[in-house]
Amino acid sequence: MTVLLLAEVSEGALAIDAVAKTVSAVKSLGDVHVLVAGKGGDEAAATAATLDGVTKVLFAPDHALCHGMAEPTAALIVSLAGDYSHIAAPSTAFAKSVMPRAAAMLDVMVISEVIGVVDADTFERPIYAGNAIQTVKSSDATKVMTVRTATFDAVGTGGSAPVEEVALSDTAGLSEWVEDKVAASDRPDLTSAGVVVSGGRGVGSEEDFALIEKLADKLGAAVGASRAAVDSGYAPNDWQVGQTGKVVAPDLYVAVGISGAIQHLAGMKDSKIIVAINKDEEAPIFQVADYGLVADLFTAVPELIEKI
């Protein structure tokens, strides 16, 4: 059995953390071939070739595959699918667009957000915002899945798999890219950061969110937010941690002014150490926190920034 793994590439660079964790999730299933799609991905392909467990890298240097356009990427996957028992990808916004499309073209179901590989046909995945875990057994010939990377440890590097070019034949031109507005930031990427500081509705305003950012910068952390904070306009949507946002599992997660709604907990409960600061001692976040501090965040956070 061989697994085709669709790589996440951003600005020509491999999202190495996400890809290395996905390799780790699927390597028990057989050889892993990584597919790097898009012109200018040479460096990403070379990086993918160094990941332990990767036996081949397929590189499709076609311009139509740039910017993660779903239609040509799905067509490329389908053209390669015959050689593979499993097709997997880290569950990023890109893969979530592409993989179900590819699955339908192959007349198979997609298995989204896999958190456990039981055997070649059987997988675990969260449902109902993480309130239940379902084990499913697929009867499809090809298993197409996305992997929730936070659950897995990244494989190491040191390999040197061959890189082979593949061509995209289908370019129907259904969609065209207009622009990307990626927030420029010196902070680490939210999903792979070692430390995450998140703010919730308790922060109270967009201006006061600067306090959360200041603590994050002191800790070299990424900034997150609860859905309540995002819905209230305090923080941008791509900071959202939770079932409807990003799922993170850093070494340290600091939740400030976050009550701990189940949908938020689903996005961070695999963190190694959780710190909660909230003035409401009844807040459910304290039930999952390793260290809880009942305090007004506007006095506790500045003090923490000073003393840490």
Partner 1 sequence: MKVLVPVKRVIDYNVKVRVKADGTGVDLANVKMSMNPFDEIAVEEAIRLKEAGTATEVVAVSIGVKQSQETLRTALAMGADRAILIVAADDVHNDIEPLAVAKLLKAVIDEEQPGLVLAGKQAIDNDMNATGQMLSALLGWSQATFASEIKVEGDSAVVTREVDGGLQTIKVKMPAIVTVDLRLNEPRYASLPNIMKAKKKPLDEKTAADYDVDVTPRLAIVKTTEPATRKAGEMVGSVDELVSKLKEAGAV
Q: Which of residues 233-272 bind partner 1 (CB under 8 A)?
A: 236-238, 243-244, 246, 251-252, 269
User: Does position 138 bind partner 1 by CB under 8 A?
Assistant: yes
User: Does position 275 bind partner 1 by CB under 8 A?
Assistant: yes
Q: Which of 83, 158, 162, 179 binds partner 1 (CB under 8 A)?
A: 179
CB 35 within 8 A of CB 4: yes
271 is an annotated ligand-binding site residue: no
Q: How far is CA 181 from CA 134, 177, 178, 250, in A?
A: 36, 12, 10, 26
To the nearest 10°, report the CA torsion of 71, 77, 81, 85.
-110
To the nearest whole angstrom, how small is the minimum distance from the Cβ of residue 15 to partner 1?
9
Q: Which of 101, 223, 234, 255 binds partner 1 (CB under 8 A)?
A: 101
User: Does position 182 bind partner 1 by CB under 8 A?
Assistant: yes
244 is an annotated ligand-binding site residue: yes
User: Does position 231 bind partner 1 by CB under 8 A?
Assistant: yes
User: Does position 307 bind partner 1 by CB under 8 A?
Assistant: yes
For the purposes of burial, counting CB atoms within 10 Å of the CB of 159, is it exposed (0-12), middle (13-18) or buried (19 or more)? middle
Question: Whose CA is closest to 20, among 112, 156, 123?
Answer: 156
β-strand partners of 141: none
CB atoms within 10 A of CB 172: 9
Q: Residue 129 or 163: which CB sits closer to partner 1?
A: 129
User: Does position 274 bind partner 1 by CB under 8 A?
Assistant: yes
Annotated binding site for FAD: 201, 226-227, 240-244, 257-264, 278
